[in-house]
């Protein structure tokens, strides 16, 4: 986390459904410094000092996908958690998010996802990349069934990189199993089985 131990992490809530964005803000404001905006353009203007962005995908104007694309070209590097009603498909392979959860989401799951991203930032790029790839694998397996990562060269490369990162993290990160278990506790796709 940035700054001293007393500074709260900053979370940016971005959703065009104002009531929903405001509800997330109410849930989170006792734990985090929360900023709330209702469109993608405003999100891009609010990124300074943000640790985690909670981002809806489907918004008028600059969509969540557009925000992620433009974020890739900027110096800011907050963790991006997609919180959306858009069911994931193979298009997620080209998106640069850190985590992806489908609405509706409960307050405790939202906090858990944020905390996972803050932990990943503390442990460095390998854990962050592992969680990104694990999320893509989880979502694709939920949508297309186990074994989907064997379907194409691109998906096999994702699987292979994920396995290499897991092996490395098991060697270098003492609490890797606890991090992985906490990650698996969040239901990223409502009504479906966790992997």
Residue 125 belongs to domain with CATH number: 3.40.50.2300
* The pLDDT of residue 193: 42
5 within a domain of the structure (yes/no): no
User: Are the beta carbons of 132 and 166 closer than 8 angstroms?
Assistant: no
User: Are the beta carbons of 39 and 60 closer than 8 angstroms?
Assistant: yes
Token readout for 89 is: 């498909």
Concatenating the DSSP letter of every residue in 67-82 gives: HHHHHTTSS---EEEE
Cα separation of 99 and 113, whole Å?
A: 8
195 within a domain of the structure (yes/no): no
User: Are the beta carbons of 86 and 57 closer than 8 angstroms?
Assistant: yes
4 within a domain of the structure (yes/no): no
1 within a domain of the structure (yes/no): no
The whole domain housing 107 covers: 10-184
37 bridge partner residues: 14
| Domains identified in the chain, total number | 1
193 within a domain of the structure (yes/no): no
10-residue stretch averages of pLDDT, the chain, 195 residues long: 68 97 98 97 94 96 93 87 91 94 93 95 93 94 89 93 96 93 85 44
First vs last Cα of the chain: how many Å apart?
A: 29
Token readout for 133 is: 């790839």
* The pLDDT of residue 49: 94
194 within a domain of the structure (yes/no): no
Cα separation of 79 and 65, whole Å?
A: 14
Q: Would you say the pTM of this structure is higher than 0.95?
A: no
190 within a domain of the structure (yes/no): no
122 within a domain of the structure (yes/no): yes
């Amino acid at each position: 986390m940035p700054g001293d131990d007393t500074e709260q992490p900053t979370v940016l809530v971005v959703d065009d459904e104002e009531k929903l964005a405001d509800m997330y803000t109410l849930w989170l404001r006792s734990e985090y410094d929360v900023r709330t905006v209702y469109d993608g353009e405003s999100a891009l203007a609010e990124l300074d000092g943000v640790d985690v962005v909670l981002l809806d995908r489907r918004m008028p104007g600059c969509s969540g996908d557009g925000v992620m694309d433009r974020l890739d070209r900027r110096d800011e590097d907050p963790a991006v958690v997609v919180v959306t009603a858009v069911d994931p498909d193979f298009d997620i392979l080209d998106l640069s998010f850190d985590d992806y959860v489908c609405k509706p989401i409960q307050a405790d799951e939202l906090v858990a996802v944020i905390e996972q991203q803050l932990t990943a930032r503390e442990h460095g790029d390998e854990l962050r990349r592992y969680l990104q790839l694990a999320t893509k694998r989880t979502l694709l397996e939920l949508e297309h069934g186990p074994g989907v990562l064997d379907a194409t060269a691109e998906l096999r490369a994702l699987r292979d990189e994920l396995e290499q990162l897991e092996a490395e993290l098991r060697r270098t990160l003492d609490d890797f199993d606890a991090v992985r278990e906490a990650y698996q506790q969040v239901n990223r796709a409502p009504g479906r089985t966790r992997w």
